[in-house]
A and B are shown apart, each in its own frame.
Chain A
Amino acid sequence: KQEVTQIPAALSVPEGENLVLNCSFTDSAIYNLQWFRQDPGKGLTSLLLIQSSQREQTSGRLNASLDKSSGRSTLYIAASQPGDSATYLCALTPISSGSARQLTFGSGTQLTVLP
């Protein structure tokens, strides 16, 4: 059974700092990994999708990496801003053709960027 862990549960940084959020998982063989953002009381917004065959993806100030051999992914946020404050969740989904794509989530890291 896939298990996804995110540490720390909460993180506070001053504005402008670069930061790294961590995600670890137990089964990486045939999974894509996705990073989401969730604002308080709201749904999830997809940030980046890393396919099982890829090692990283970039979007603006965000860079996500995937290391299947160690069962880890990181989300790097450059030059953090107060608007980045949210909970960040990583999730894995099996990708065998025809299979359901239910996501298995970590419990998230609550990020606060202080002005």
Chain B
Amino acid sequence: DTGVSQNPRHKITKRGQNVTFRCDPISEHNRLYWYRQTLGQGPEFLTYFQNEAQLEKSRLLSDRFSAERPKGSFSTLEIQRTEQGDSAMYLCASSLNARDRWNQETQYFGPGTRLLVL
């Protein structure tokens, strides 16, 4: 079973450094989402891709954040000049958006990357 995978699973960095996370979705899924989850809260939407196109970004995604999905497969999320407030779990999810089942779309989540900024 090849579900959604994320790497690395844990990342510790110093304030001001850049970090990059990778997400590999379920292979036939055309949509990919990024969420951020802080302790005791539910995940918050950051951005999503339909194939390689980034179609929506949350206001939570400051200009220090950038996401790509260059070939419509894996995606990367980069945070530049990290701040302590960036410490969180970063979750990736993928789904299949199909015309004949558009109202049954289900997102499948990866295990997340936990970021700690010192």
A interface residue numbers (CB < 8 A to B): 4, 9, 32, 34, 36, 41-46, 49, 51-53, 89, 91, 93, 95, 97-98, 100-108
Contacts and interface: CB of A to CB of B under 8 A. Distances in A.
B42 A105 contact: yes
16 contacts: A9-B40, A43-B91, A44-B109, A45-B109, A46-B109, A49-B106, A51-B104, A95-B102, A97-B103, A98-B102, A100-B48, A100-B56, A102-B58, A103-B35, A107-B42, A108-B41
A42 B97 contact: no
B56 A43 contact: no
B104 A49 contact: yes
Nearest to B55: A100
Contacts of A108: 41-42
Given A44-B109, A101-B31, A101-B95, A95 B42 contact: no
Interface in B69-118: 91, 93, 95, 97, 102-112, 114
Contacts of B106: 34, 46, 49
10 closest residue pairs by CB, A with B: A105-B42, A102-B45, A44-B109, A43-B109, A43-B111, A100-B56, A95-B103, A43-B112, A107-B42, A107-B41
Contact of B103 (A32, A100, A102): A32
A95 B109 CA distance: 19
A106 B8 CA distance: 26
Nearest to B97: A101
A28 to B, nearest CB: 15
B33 interface: yes
B43 A105 contact: yes
A107 B106 CA distance: 20
Given A100-B48, A101-B97, A52 B109 contact: no
Contacts of A104: 45
Contacts of A45: 109
A44 B103 contact: no
